[in-house]
Structure 1
Amino acid sequence: MADIDETPNSHPYKLLVQAGPSYDESTHKIVTVNDTEPLCIDGPHMTVNLHVRVRDYDGLPFKSPRHSAYFDHEMHLRDLYSIAFSFIPKKDINSKNLVWGNDFDHPIRDQLPPGFHLAYKIAKTLIDPGMNCDAYCDRPWSYGPALSCWYAFRVGEKQQSVGDEKTPSCPDQPAIEEGADGDGWEMRKKNSVPENAKKRRRHFLSPANRDAFHLEKDRVYYADFYTPYFDPNKVVLKLPGIKIRVLKYVNMKTHTLRYVFKDWEKDETYLVVLLKLLFAEELTRVVNDDRLGCC
C-alpha cells in the first residue's frame, strides 16, 4: 500500500462532533460520540435522532465512551466510524434531488494532498459510483444521491403524529439493518425498492427511480453511513492500495469535515454533522466549555 505524506502534524488535537438541522452552527448541539442514547434534532423539515460512533474514540467531550457495541456487530467489525440516524419528515419529500456528502464554505484546492486524484478515482470506482465532486471551485463539494450513498436504509412504520412520544429512535440493536418494519415493507414493494442493500444502492442511482420514491410525512426512516476507509482519530484515509495522512493538510480553514443531508435543487437542509479537529488556542478555549464535561 502506498503511504503518502508520512510527516504527521506535530500539534496536539482533539476531535469534536456537533450536529444540527442547518448550516448555522448556532443551531447545533455537541454530540456525545459512542453514546447509547441518540441526540434529538428537531428541525423545520424533519425530526432526527442521531448516533455518531468512532472506533477507539479519543476526542471530546471527555464523557464520550471510547468503545461502542456497534463495532462488535458482525457487519461492522472493520468499520472505523458511523453516522447513523432515524428521521421522520414533517412533509412529503421527493427523493430525486436528495444528496448526502461533504461540502465546504471556502476553497480547499491548495490543501489537497498529492494523492487526491487517485483517491477520488478509487472511491468512485470501487466504493460509491454515485459520488460526484468539484474540489477546485470556491465552495467545493462531494455529493451522491442520499438513498444510494447510505450503506443501510430501513423504512419504518407510519406514525400518527410527531410528538415527544413519536420521535424516531434507532432499533434496540446497535446496528441499523437493511429492510423495513410493519407497513414499511409495503412501501418498499410498491416502489420496487430491492431488499438487498447493494441492489437498493444501484436502484437509486437512477434519477427516474429516485423521482418515483417519496419520503412520506410522519413515516420513520433509518439510515447508516459507515466506512472502514477513514480513521477520524488519526485523520488517515485508507483506500485499496493507497493511504493518505490527511492531518498534514489541516489548518484553521480546513479543520472541519462537514456532512450534509439536503435537497440539492430546493436548497433545503435536513441534517448537518461537523467533525472538527481542534488544536492550539481553539482547543484550549473549547475544553473549558462546561458542555464538554471536562471540569
Structure 2
Amino acid sequence: MADKYIIRVTAGSSYDLDEHVQVPVNTSTPVQLSSEHMDVELNVRVQNYKGLPRDSPHTSPYFDHEPHAYNKDQYSIAFRFTPKRPSPSASSSDSDDPPSSSSSSAEDEQPKGISGHDLQFGNDFDHPIRTRLPPGFGTAMNIVKWWIDPGLEGDAYADEPYLYGPALSSFNAIHAGPGEHDDAKGGLWFAEGGDEEGMAVREQVGAPADAKARMKWALKGDSKDRWVWEYGRTYGVDFYNPYVDFGEFALRLPGFHLPIIKYWDGQALRPGSNDHPKRSHQLRYVLRNRSTGHVYLVVLFTLYLKDDVNEDGSLKPAALQATAKASGGQGRKGEPVDAPEGEEKTDDFDEDKALDEARRKLSSVELGGETNGDDVD
C-alpha cells in the first residue's frame, strides 16, 4: 500500500495551507517563516526520504553525527525561533492620558516572554480519530509517556484530538542562542546549552546544561515557573527520534510496530476491500501557546497518491482538493474499524510482552545526548 503514495512536507505560521511553503527536505537551506508572533528558520531531515520535491536528497549528513548515528534517528524537526513582544492593546495606544506612575509600574510587570508552562509542541487533528485507532494504541501511548516524554498530555478520543508536551521538556536539544548553521552537519545544528548570555540565563533559572537532566528538570512545575522564552531572544531547538520511519511510513516503537499508512490521519486502509485509497493523509506538528491559543509553527507531513502528483512534483487538482478537505475537519465519524489484513486484533495484542521489550531497548537509546536509563521519572 505504501508504494501508492508519495510524501510532501510543508510549513507555515498557521494551520492555513494557503500560507504554507514546501520544505526542501534534507537540504541545508532553512525555510524562513515570519508572523506577528514569531520569526522561525526551519530544517526538516528524513532518513530514506522518497518524497517531494522530486530531487530531494534521500538523507542528510545530520544523521552521520552523534547522537543521531548511534540512535539511528529517522527524522529531525530543527528550528531557531525568536518570539515577538505582543503589540500594545488598542485601548492603551488610543489613550491621550500622560503616563502615570501606576501605568509605568504596570509596564514593568508585563510578561518578558512566553511561560515555560505555555509554549507547547506536539501533534493535533481537527477531526475525531477515536474509531480508527489501531490495536495496541494504548500500549504505544504508555511507552511514549513512560520512557520517551513523560510531559506529554492529550486526548486521542476527543473531537479534536491532540498530544502536546511543554516545549521545555519535549525538545531533545534546547540552545539558548542562535546556535550554528553548518552545511557539513545538514544545516541548522543545536547542541544543548547556549551562547554566553544564554548560558547565564539558564544558570540563573537552574536549568541543567545536560539535555537529559534538563528534560527531567522541566517536568517540575516550579521549573516551568522559572523558565521564560523571552521576547527578542533567539532559541534553537531540535526534535528527533528513531521511532517514526517516514521512508517506509511506519511507527517502530520498541515492542510496537505499526505500518502508519494503514491508520494515517485516522483512516484505516483495508487491502482487498472495496474502499478506494484515500487521496491524502496528514500528520502535523504544532508549536503553540497553551494560554492564548496562538499557533507559531505548523509542520505538515502529507501523503499523496502518486497518481495525483505531476512529473514535475506539482499537485493535480484532485490532490489539492483532498488536502483541503483533510484539513477542514471532515473526517468520517462513528465507523468501527477492523484490524487491517495481517495485523493483530486488539484482543490478541500482548501488552506485557510489548512493555518488556520497550524497557529493554529504550534503556540504551540516547534521547537528549546521553543514554536514557531507568532513572527517567
- What TM-score do the two structures reach when normalised by structure 2? 0.68
Q: Is contact 2:116–2:227 with CA below 8 Å preserved after alignment?
A: yes
Is residue 2:192 matched to residue 1:171?
no
Partner in structure 1 of residue 120 of structure 2: 99
Secondary structure of the residue aligned to 1:255 is strand
AA matched with 2:300:
L
Equivalent of 1:255 in 261, 281, 294: 281
With over 3 angstroms needed to count, the CA separation of the structure-2 counterparts of 1:189 and 1:238, relative to structure 1, is same
Between the aligned partners of 1:17 and 1:10, the Cα distance in structure 2 is 17
Q: Is contact 2:279–2:305 with CA below 8 Å preserved after alignment?
A: no
Between the aligned partners of 1:211 and 1:76, the Cα distance in structure 2 is 31
Between the aligned partners of 1:261 and 1:273, the Cα distance in structure 2 is 9
Equivalent of 1:272 in 298, 303, 306: 298
- Larger deviation: 47-56 or 201-210? 201-210
With over 3 angstroms needed to count, the CA separation of the structure-2 counterparts of 1:144 and 1:10, relative to structure 1, is closer
The structure, 1 or 2, with the larger RCO (C-alpha pairs under 8 Å, 6+ apart) is 1
Gaps spanning 5+ residues in structure 2: where? Answer: 86-112, 268-277, 317-377
Partner in structure 2 of residue 60 of structure 1: 52
Q: Is contact 1:11–1:279 with CA below 8 Å preserved after alignment?
A: no
Q: Is contact 2:7–2:302 with CA below 8 Å preserved after alignment?
A: yes
Between the aligned partners of 2:58 and 2:10, the Cα distance in structure 1 is 17
Q: Once the 2 structures are TM-superposed, how far is the Cα of residue 103 of structure 1 from its aligned partner?
A: 0.2
Secondary structure of the residue aligned to 1:287 is coil
- Larger deviation: 191-200 or 248-257? 248-257
Is residue 2:28 matched to residue 1:40?
no
Secondary structure of the residue aligned to 2:304 is strand
Between the aligned partners of 2:263 and 2:116, the Cα distance in structure 1 is 35
Which has the larger helix fraction?
Answer: 2
Is residue 2:217 matched to residue 1:196?
no
Which has the larger strand fraction?
Answer: 1
Equivalent of 1:155 in 166, 170, 176: 176
Equivalent of 1:22 in 14, 28, 33: 14
Q: Is contact 2:179–2:195 with CA below 8 Å preserved after alignment?
A: no
Secondary structure of the residue aligned to 1:122 is helix
Between the aligned partners of 1:237 and 1:289, the Cα distance in structure 2 is 26
With over 3 angstroms needed to count, the CA separation of the structure-2 counterparts of 1:107 and 1:11, relative to structure 1, is farther
Between the aligned partners of 1:35 and 1:245, the Cα distance in structure 2 is 27
Between the aligned partners of 1:253 and 1:10, the Cα distance in structure 2 is 12
Partner in structure 1 of residue 251 of structure 2: 237
Between the aligned partners of 1:242 and 1:51, the Cα distance in structure 2 is 28
State the identity as a percent. 43
AA matched with 1:85:
F
Partner in structure 2 of residue 164 of structure 1: none
Partner in structure 2 of residue 12 of structure 1: 4
With over 3 angstroms needed to count, the CA separation of the structure-2 counterparts of 1:180 and 1:186, relative to structure 1, is same
Between the aligned partners of 2:78 and 2:49, the Cα distance in structure 1 is 16
AA matched with 1:89:
P
What RMSD, in angstroms, separates the aligned Cα atoms of the two structures?
Answer: 2.0
Q: Is contact 1:85–1:170 with CA below 8 Å preserved after alignment?
A: no
Partner in structure 2 of residue 159 of structure 1: none
Between the aligned partners of 1:10 and 1:90, the Cα distance in structure 2 is 41
Is residue 2:82 matched to residue 1:88?
yes
- What TM-score do the two structures reach when normalised by structure 1? 0.86
> Structure 1 runs of 4+ off > 6 angstroms?
none
Q: Is contact 2:123–2:164 with CA below 8 Å preserved after alignment?
A: yes
Between the aligned partners of 1:281 and 1:271, the Cα distance in structure 2 is 30
Q: Once the 2 structures are TM-superposed, how far is the Cα of residue 253 of structure 1 from its aligned partner?
A: 8.7
Partner in structure 1 of residue 167 of structure 2: 146
Q: Once the 2 structures are TM-superposed, how far is the Cα of residue 52 of structure 1 from its aligned partner?
A: 0.2
Gaps spanning 5+ residues in structure 1: where? Answer: 1-8, 157-167, 291-295
Between the aligned partners of 1:142 and 1:282, the Cα distance in structure 2 is 30
Q: Is contact 2:205–2:227 with CA below 8 Å preserved after alignment?
A: yes
Q: Is contact 2:285–2:299 with CA below 8 Å preserved after alignment?
A: yes
After superposition, the C-alpha distances for 1:25-58 in whole angstroms (9 at most, x for unaligned) are 1221100000111000111111100000001211
